[in-house]
Homo-oligomer: A and B are copies of this chain.
Amino acid sequence: MKKVRFGVVGIGSMGTMHITNLQCRVPNAEVIAVCARTLSRVKEVQEKFGIPHGYTDYDEMLKNPDIDAIVIATGADAHKEQCIKASQANKHIFCEKPLAKSVEDCKEIEAEVAKNEGKLFTVGFMRRFDPSYAEAMRKIRAGEIGAPILFRGVSLDPASVLDAHLEGVKKGIYVPWFIEMGSHDTDLARWFLRGEPVECFATGGAYVCKGLADYDDYDNGFSLTKFDNQTTAYIQVGRTGTCSHVESEIVGTCGTLRINSVPRKNYISQFTGKGVLEECQESFLERWGTAFYNEMENFTNCILENRQPEITAKDGTGSLEFCLKLHDAYLAGKK
Is B253 within 8 A of A240, CB to CB? yes
A-B pairs, top 6 by smallest CB distance, nearest first, are A201-B201, A224-B224, A256-B271, A132-B267, A275-B279, A260-B267
The reply to whether B259 and A207 contact each other, CB–CB distance below 8 Å, is no
Interface size class of A (residues with CB under 8 A): 35 or more
Question: Which of these binds chain B: A64-72, A90-98, A117-125, A229-237?
Answer: A229-237
CB <8 Å contact, A278 and B280: no
Contact partner of A253 (CB less than 8 A), chosen from B146, B147, B208, is B208
- Identify which of B48, B234, B268, B277 contacts A224 (C-beta below 8 A): B234
* Chain B CB within 8 A of A170 CB: no
CA distance A274 to B230 in the complex (A): 28
| 26 residue pairs A–B, Cβ–Cβ below 8 Å | A24-B25, A25-B25, A130-B267, A132-B268, A149-B205, A149-B207, A150-B220, A203-B224, A205-B230, A222-B224, A222-B234, A224-B234, A226-B333, A238-B251, A243-B275, A255-B270, A255-B271, A255-B272, A257-B270, A258-B269, A258-B271, A260-B267, A261-B261, A264-B276, A275-B278, A276-B278
Q: A48, A260, A261, A276 — which one has the most chain B CB atoms within 10 A of its CB?
A: A276
Find the residue from A132, A136, A259, A274 having the highest chain B CB count within 10 A. A274
Q: Is A14 in the interface zone, CB < 8 Å from B?
A: no
Residues on the B chain within 8 Å of A13, using CB = none
Q: Smallest CB–CB gap between A192 and chain B, Å?
A: 13
CA distance A264 to B1 in the complex (A): 36
A48, B279: Cα distance in complex, Å: 40
**A173 part of interface (Cβ distance < 8 Å):** no
Residues on B with beta carbons closer than 8 Å to the beta carbon of A223: 224
Q: What is the minimal beta-carbon distance from A158 to any residue of chain B, in angstroms?
A: 9
Cα-based distance from A199 to B145 in the complex (angstroms): 32
